[in-house]
Structure 1
Amino acid sequence: MPDLSLAALNCTLTPSPGESSSQKLLDEVLAEFSAHASVTPHVVRLVDHDVKPGVEADMGAGDEWPEIRDRIRAADILVVATPTWLGHMSSVAQRMLERLDAEFSETDDDGRPVMFGKVAAVVADLRQSLNDIGFGIPAQGSVYWNGEAMSGVDYKDLDKTPEPVATATATPARSTVHLAGLLGAQQYPANG
């Protein structure tokens, strides 16, 4: 079983200690990761932190993003959970992507983007953005639950996990661990 580091970002709009459907689904996905790798995830609920708007790695006084960014950069795997509102990720997730934009200009000694070799799993609709930044996206590396349209039932209020969701949480964990292990053994080729 591989030993991998994992950073998890919850982009819910609900501050701690409030219940969050995104957190419930994220917890289920993280439990699946432990079945495939030795991981100790560090979960950050972004809404609890002062993440300044902008596209720089550090937006100045009071900005808590640099510490969160360091955790992401130190991890083999990034797991991001976000609710969907009107079919889109939360504004907190959008802010995270704006801040990750700073990574486009960061490269390693071989000219590769610094996020190359890292893998991201998604609990929502962020795949293309994270891939553009340089994260590898595994096959079927995401899970979500939207429920019946306009039913008013939140995921956190379900008595039990629906079977299709339970199956879908196992697949991203397995695929992400596999891809992270491959990239840990052999990095992408250098640019140039």
Structure 2
Amino acid sequence: MKALVINCTLKKSPEPSNTEALASVVAERLSKKGVDLDVVRAVDLNIAPGERMDAMMSETDDEDRPVAYNRVAGVVVTGNEDGAHHVISEISGALADIGYTIPGQAWTYWHLGPGPGPDYLEEQRGREWAHRTGGIMADNLHGVAEALMARPLSAPA
């Protein structure tokens, strides 16, 4: 089983990333389950603007299924007063639209409430909850991925 973590921080490598630090909690749990992981920072890539993920809706595999079928996805969010639930729902909805399966509780987030404050890498408060939900996220992603491997979704009729 393989996993790709796409870190959408605005900080270029090698600058420390709060999102990468929290995503590593999920990645480590998946790695312990034998998942082969790759991590990329979108900001380090030369990605031209445009709605490219919508193009995946017409791409199919050898069995005429959308290429995102039988793949799972989740979301990690860090920040202060960033509307974590809103961000999670928007990203999850967009991924589901193109065929990804989004397991229940396939997310974790960290923030300390409204207003400016310390970053995840600077603060220990709130980490226990974020790490617990990150572990649950990893378990749910892995469990659903195993289920889809055993019983893949068929092509839409």
Fold similarity call, TM over 0.5: yes
- TM-score, L = length of structure 2: 0.85
- Structure 1 residue aligned with 2:44: 48
- For residue 104 of structure 2, what is the aligned residue in structure 1? 139
Which residue, 142, 147, 151 being the options, matches 1:177?
A: 142
Unaligned runs of 5+ in 1: 55-97
Q: Report deviation, 1:161.
A: 6.1
Matched, 1:10 2:7: yes
> Taking structure 1 as the reference length, what is the TM-score of the superposition?
0.71
Q: Deviations over 1:71-103 (max 9, x none)?
A: xxxxxxxxxxxxxxxxxxxxxxxxxxx222210
d(CA) in 1 for partners of 2:16 and 2:125?
Answer: 16
Match of 1:113 among 62, 66, 74: 66
2-structure distance, mates of 1:107, 1:15: 33
Deviation >6 Å, runs of 4+: none
**Secondary structure, counterpart of 1:189 in structure 2:** coil
SS in 1 for 2:107: coil
Aligned to 2:28: 31
Q: CA offset at residue 160 of structure 1?
A: 6.6
- Report the alpha carbon displacement of residue 162 of structure 1 after superposing the two structures with TM: 2.2
Identity of aligned residues (%): 36
Q: Which residue of 2 aligns with 1:163?
A: 128
Structure 2 CA distance for partners of 1:159 and 1:146, relative to 1, 3 Å: closer
2:98 & 2:66 partners in 1: Cα distance? 8
Residues 2 and 35 of structure 2 are in contact (CA less than 8 Å); yes or no, is this contact kept in structure 1? yes
Q: CA RMSD in A?
A: 1.5
**Which letter maps to 2:6?**
L
